[in-house]
Homo-oligomer: A and B are copies of this chain.
Amino acid sequence: MTTPEPRAARRGEHGDLFDPQCPTRQLLDRLGTKWTSMAVKTLADAAPDEVRFAELKRRMPGVSQKMLSVTLRSLTRDGLVSRRVEPSVPPRVFYRLTGLGLSLEAVLAGLRTWAEEHMAEIDRSHYAVEQEAEGTAEA
């Protein structure tokens, strides 16, 4: 079995690199992984309904089965997502955001709003910096 212990701030021990009590770092590590935010968003869109694995995969264009699996397991471990197995053959597994997950979605919504409002500005800035660089180069 693979040690399912990414970071250990559980009991007394903590092999954390720098700031073990920096929750923001841990949160950003999670959000930074490629599919987490999309999974949360997709589940949030469906809430309060449950969504099955395959359906979830279908709604997340580009995600591989492995990464969806890994992402969901991570979210489940974090208590952001609930997992319900229907013991039939073939099995059916349902996922849904927990209350905690929904509260995170609210934060993500804030991120999305900022991004939509300001990313164009950031793009424009890239332009400006390039122009400046050219000007400096051939002065």
Instruction: Give the docked Cα–Cα distance between A41 and B87 (Å).
Output: 48
Residue numbers in B under 8 Å from A127 (CB-CB):
10
- Chain B residues near A116 (CB, 8 Å)? 4, 23-24
- What's the least CB distance linking A29 to chain B, in Å? 8
A24 B10 Cβ-Cβ under 8 A: no
The interface residues of chain B lying within 8 Å CB-to-CB of A135 are none
Is chain A's binding surface mostly helix, strand, loop or mixed? helix
Q: Is A7 an interface residue (CB 8 A)?
A: yes
Contact between B17 and A122, CB atoms less than 8 A apart:
no
Provide the residues of chain B in CB contact with A4, threshold 8 Å: 116, 119-120, 123
Are B24 and A126 touching (Cβ within 8 A)? no
Selecting from A46-54, A88-96, A104-112, the interface stretch reads: A104-112
User: Contact: B37 with A24, CB < 8 Å?
Assistant: yes
Contact of A31 among B19, B28, B110 (CB under 8 A): B28
Q: Is the CB of A100 within 8 A of B118?
A: yes
Would you call B78 and A125 a contact (CB within 8 A)?
yes
A-B contact pairs, 9 of them (CB 8 A): A4-B116, A4-B120, A17-B62, A26-B115, A29-B32, A32-B33, A77-B125, A79-B124, A107-B111
Residues of A within 8 A of B (CB): 2, 4-5, 7, 9-10, 17-19, 23-29, 31-33, 37, 61-62, 76-80, 100, 103-104, 107-108, 110-112, 114-116, 118-129
